[in-house]
Structures are given as C-alpha cells and as structure tokens.
Amino acid sequence: MENFSEKIQSLRNEYSDLDLKVDDLNSNPITQFTRWLDEAIETKIYEPNAMVLATVNENTPRSRFVLFKNIVNNNLIFHTHYESPKAMEILANPSVSGIFYWAEIHRQVRFQGKAKKADSEISDDYFQTRPRGGQLSAWASAQSSIIETRDDVTKKIEELEKKYKNKQIPRPEFWGGFEIEVNYWEFWQGRRNRTHDRFCYNQINSGWDIERMAP
C-alpha cells in the first residue's frame, strides 16, 4: 500500500501555456460550449460527447457517464431508460450537474441545471438514428436491474431480432430523452504550475454574467 501511495502521489502532468481570457469567450455559453466541443471532436478525442451526469437520490449524489447527443432550444439532450435509477432520480428531483473532460486538450466544462423528459418527437427522431443493435438492446435491457448472466439480455435480443426481422423497430415507451436546461456553466483551461484559467457563466434574467475564478 505504501508503494501504491507513493506511485499515486508522484503522478504529475504539466499543462500547456494556453491562455483563456474573458475576451476569448462568447457571451453565449452554449456557443462557447459547442466551439470547444467541436475542437475536441477535431482533435479525435475518444467519445468527446461523454459526460459525467450527477443526480440526487434521497440526498445522496450519484454519478455515471452518459452520452450527450444534441442541443434543442439551448438545452442539452441525452437518452436513457426511463425506469433506470438516474431517470427515476431526475423525475423525483430535477436538479443535475455534469462535467465534460477533454484531457488531451487540457479542458473541462462543468454545468448545473434542471432536467426533464424531452418531447417524444425528439426521442423518436434520435431512436431511428441508432444502429439496429442499439435499438434492440434498448428493448431488451431493463437498465441497471439485477440479472443472472449476460445471456438474459442476449436471448431477448435474439427474440426481438426475429420479431422485427425486415421491420422498422419502434422506440419503446420506456426509453427516451431528457433535456437539461443549464443555469450555470464553468469553463476550465489547464495551464502550467496549476495557474489554470476558469470562467463561470451565471444566468441573470435573460442574459449571462461572466466572472473569472481562482484556479
């Protein structure tokens, strides 16, 4: 354990000399976010749309990775099983927070807001873009429920493959999107010697107040 502790404590990575100034930021955080996400995509980062989503269950925070899939009416969209723990937690308490982290370009985006079910049209449209295997797994998997073996799911998928052979697979009613209305954004740019640049956007009426934060 001592060697392990030393190994962890010795981990050091130096960041770049890139600066982030308030003049570099767009006055609209959605525009700023999409700009950074596009740069992450162009850098070929693996799953740059992966975000940690935190919800609250009876005053206990819980987090997991989900995939951000769209922006609709300035709200962030992700999709999941509506009977999963995270969905049930959102329906009970819509307050959520999340983080995108792009280590390769030394950037992080953090947000807070309120989540709600997306319109069915949004869920339907996205579901039809999923690979057929992903559509079948949405039907077959009761997400986060306890199962005996993986065969419990694969057998259901095989049955569904026969059922929907040469047919369009409809979206299950228990699966769909959530949209997050963000009321707080934070943009972080890593810099040398831990002198990171951090800016937050706080929503004020119909606009945003931008402030620099200490590293």
Same domain, 33 and 86: yes
Say if 6 falls within a structural domain.
no
Tokens of 31: 């525009």
Where does the pLDDT of residue 6 fall: very low under 50, low under 70, confident under 90, or very high at 90 and above?
confident
Confidence (pLDDT) at 168? 97
Mean pLDDT over 157-185 rounds to: 97
Domain holding 45: CATH number? 2.30.110.10
| pLDDT tens-digit readout, 74-132 | 999 999 999 999 999 999 999 999 999 999 999 999 999 999 999 999 999 999 999 99
| Residue 20, CA atoms < 13 Å, CB-side half-sphere | 28
Nearest alpha-carbon partner for 101 in 22, 182, 187: 187
CA distance 94 to 84: 15
Confidence (pLDDT) at 2? 65
Q: Find where tokens 């949004």 sit.
A: 122
157 has a pLDDT exceeding 80: yes
Instruction: State which residues form the domain around 161.
Output: 132-170
Same domain, 156 and 73: no
Same domain, 59 and 103: yes
Tokens of 1: 């354990």
Q: Find where tokens 């049955």 sit.
A: 159
Residue 190 or 59, more confident: 190
192 is catalytic: no
Q: Find where tokens 């049930």 sit.
A: 88
The active-site residue, picked from 107, 110, 192, 194, is: 194
Where does the pLDDT of residue 1 fall: very low under 50, low under 70, confident under 90, or very high at 90 and above?
low
DSSP 29-71: HHHHHHHHHHHHHHTT-SSTTEEEEEEEETTEEEEEEEEEEEE
Same domain, 100 and 115: yes
